[in-house]
């Protein structure tokens, strides 16, 4: 087929071996992000009641796909604005979106047809757009987790579309990328603590607050046992898949420069070996911290999600931290997550996984990176000078805190507008009858589970809210 293409129409610099290897690398990282979506689904599948299992999976997948699909319209173009600004391209905002929206020339043209002087490494950036789609899918899956067993599908789908298509990309533009407005001044991130975890954590808090607790979560209800996990074995499998997929997905959060080295997405000096080792140190530290909490509180779920707490807590510094530093940071992270859970429980907020992990762990991770990486060089872009010169900025706690304030403010304002707006119009909460009967039966006509956890007079194990019983734990 290539013989049918005139040589003058092929830009050979776009199809070198190095370009193909880079595209394959980011393709593998993208697929691993999809495994993260599946892992989140398995964790939730074990934590919900059996009567809501089918609906949980359907909503989870739909939320992930809607968030990822929404990003393709202009989300990737929004992120690319920073590079157009740094490179001095005229009308950078409109041009970036024009080139990289779903119907843009850089998205609809084969890489060998694109002039590398205008669109260098086209294949790589096209694959990286798919990486962003998977990134938004993770956000959608996590947002769905905040409203388990009680939020209607329609408002949740709208929430995921707005978050994935607009809010996450805006926060990515501000904080993730070597020439983003905040990164170029010293804000450092690696796996997306600001744009993914803190953003999702704030929206999850608003969802859980406005949707109110599940029946029997904090106050005994004679009609239900409350939100008691039905199969923690599924959740354990989800955690194991997460552990396998995350290292490869995280390596996609950086630049590979053949013959030079590997750099974090903020243009921080890094290396494949140290990043992978740091990821495993975060598993060890987070897992041990979570296990201590689990045994002390008799809550097995903390023994499972301690791993996630560890890598989120160390997520912003996995590319720059020393392994022993990551071990310490990740060990502390589950205690931050557990403390966040206790605060939420005392205030009657029924989200004991996403908000503690994403918001509590995310805030901790963003700030501690300013300590671990204090003074490290960051920001800028290869071959540029002046305000965008490579590694002209330095990491410090002050700029990390400024980044937190900016992202929390944007996420809070946008989340309140969208979620409260939906609550006041189409409503968030399923009916009590449907919640008690089970969403599988209410929406899909599925037969009742082999045991009835909604019988009148059933004990409300989750009513104490003290975290001692399995049903009162992080679910």
**Tally of CA atoms within 13 A in the half-sphere of 128 that contains its CB:** 22
Opening angle at CA 417, ends 412 and 421, nearest 5: 140
Q: How far is CA 292 from the centre of its chain?
A: 26
Closest CA to 71 of 141, 137, 155: 137
Q: What is the pLDDT of residues 389-405, one digit of tens each?
A: 999 999 999 999 999 99
Q: pLDDT 10s digit of each residue in the chain, 475 long?
A: 444 555 557 888 888 888 999 999 999 999 999 999 999 999 999 999 999 999 999 999 999 999 999 999 999 999 999 999 999 999 999 999 999 999 999 999 999 999 998 899 999 999 999 999 999 999 999 999 999 999 999 999 999 999 999 999 999 999 999 999 999 999 999 999 999 999 999 999 999 999 999 999 999 988 888 898 989 999 999 999 999 999 999 999 999 988 899 999 999 999 999 999 999 999 999 999 999 999 999 999 999 999 999 999 999 999 999 999 999 999 999 999 999 999 999 999 999 899 999 999 999 999 999 999 999 999 999 999 999 999 999 999 999 999 999 999 999 999 999 999 999 999 999 999 999 999 999 999 988 776 544 443 344 443 334 333 333 333 3
What torsion do the CA atoms of 333, 68, 125, 119 make, to the nearest 10 degrees?
-130
What is the radius of gyration, based on Cα positions, of the chain?
Answer: 23
Domains and CATH numbers, the chain: 11-446+458-470 (1.10.3430.10)
Task: Find the farthest-apart pair of alpha carbons in the chain and give their distance in angstroms, rounded.
Answer: 79
Count of CB atoms situated within 10 Å of the CB of 194:
31
Burial label for 259, CB within 10 Å (0-12, 13-18, 19+), is: exposed
What pTM does this model have? 0.93
Separation in Å, CA 11 to CA 4, 391, 442: 15, 31, 57
> How many whole angstroms separate alpha carbon 32 and alpha carbon 40?
13
> How many whole angstroms separate alpha carbon 9 and alpha carbon 17?
19
The answer to whether residues 323 and 274 touch, using CB atoms and an 8 Å cutoff, is: yes
Q: What are phi and psi of 306, to 5 degrees?
A: -60, -35
The answer to whether residues 230 and 450 touch, using CB atoms and an 8 Å cutoff, is: no
Burial label for 333, CB within 10 Å (0-12, 13-18, 19+), is: buried
Count of CB atoms situated within 10 Å of the CB of 437:
15
Q: What is the pLDDT of residues 263-277, one digit of tens each?
A: 999 999 999 999 999
The answer to whether residues 378 and 175 touch, using CB atoms and an 8 Å cutoff, is: no
Residues 6+ apart with CB under 8 A from 413: none
Closest CA to 50 of 436, 449, 445: 449
């Amino acid at each position: 087929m290539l013989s049918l293409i005139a040589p003058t129409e092929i830009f050979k610099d776009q199809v070198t071996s190095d370009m193909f290897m880079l595209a394959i690398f980011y393709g593998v990282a993208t697929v691993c992000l999809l495994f993260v979506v599946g892992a989140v689904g398995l964790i939730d599948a074990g934590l919900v009641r059996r009567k809501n299992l089918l609906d949980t999976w359907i909503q989870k997948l739909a939320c992930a796909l809607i968030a990822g699909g929404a990003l393709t319209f202009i989300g990737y173009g929004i992120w690319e604005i920073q590079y157009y600004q740094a490179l001095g391209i005229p009308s950078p905002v409109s041009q970036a979106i024009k080139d990289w929206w779903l119907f843009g020339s850089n998205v609809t043209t084969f890489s060998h047809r694109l002039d590398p002087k205008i669109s260098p490494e086209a294949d790589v950036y096209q694959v990286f757009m798919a990486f962003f789609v998977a990134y938004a899918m993770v956000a959608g899956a996590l947002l769905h987790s905040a409203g388990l067993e009680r939020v209607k599908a329609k408002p949740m789908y709208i929430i995921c579309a707005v978050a994935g298509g607009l809010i996450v990309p805006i926060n990515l533009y501000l904080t993730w990328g070597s020439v983003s407005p905040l990164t170029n001044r010293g804000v450092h991130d690696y796996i997306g603590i600001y744009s993914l975890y803190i953003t999702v954590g704030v929206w999850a808090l608003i969802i859980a607050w406005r949707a109110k607790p599940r029946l029997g979560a904090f106050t005994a209800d004679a009609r239900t046992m409350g939100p008691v996990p039905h199969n923690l074995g599924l959740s354990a499998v989800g955690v194991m898949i997460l552990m396998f997929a995350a290292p490869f997905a995280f390596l996609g959060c950086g630049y590979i420069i053949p013959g030079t080295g590997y750099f974090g997405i903020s243009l921080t000096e890094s290396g494949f070996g140290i990043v992978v080792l740091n990821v495993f140190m975060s598993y060890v530290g987070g897992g041990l911290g979570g296990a201590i909490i689990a045994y002390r509180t008799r809550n097995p779920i903390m023994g499972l999600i301690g791993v996630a707490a560890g890598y989120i807590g160390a997520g912003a510094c996995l590319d720059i931290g020393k392994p022993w530093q990551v071990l310490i940071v990740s060990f502390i992270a589950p205690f931050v997550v557990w403390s966040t859970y206790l605060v939420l429980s005392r205030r009657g907020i029924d989200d004991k996984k996403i908000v503690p992990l994403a918001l509590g762990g995310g805030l901790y991770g963003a700030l501690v990176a300013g300590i671990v990486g204090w003074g490290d060089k960051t920001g800028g872009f290869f071959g540029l000078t002046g305000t965008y010169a490579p590694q002209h900025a330095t990491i410090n706690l002050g700029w990390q805190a400024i980044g937190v304030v900016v992202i929390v403010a944007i996420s809070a304002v946008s989340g309140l507008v969208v979620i409260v707006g939906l609550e006041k119009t189409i409503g968030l909460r399923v009916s009590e009858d449907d919640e008690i009967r089970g969403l599988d039966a209410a929406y899909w006509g599925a037969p009742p589970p082999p045991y009835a956890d909604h019988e009148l007079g059933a004990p409300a194990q989750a009513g104490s809210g003290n975290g001692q019983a399995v049903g009162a734990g992080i679910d």
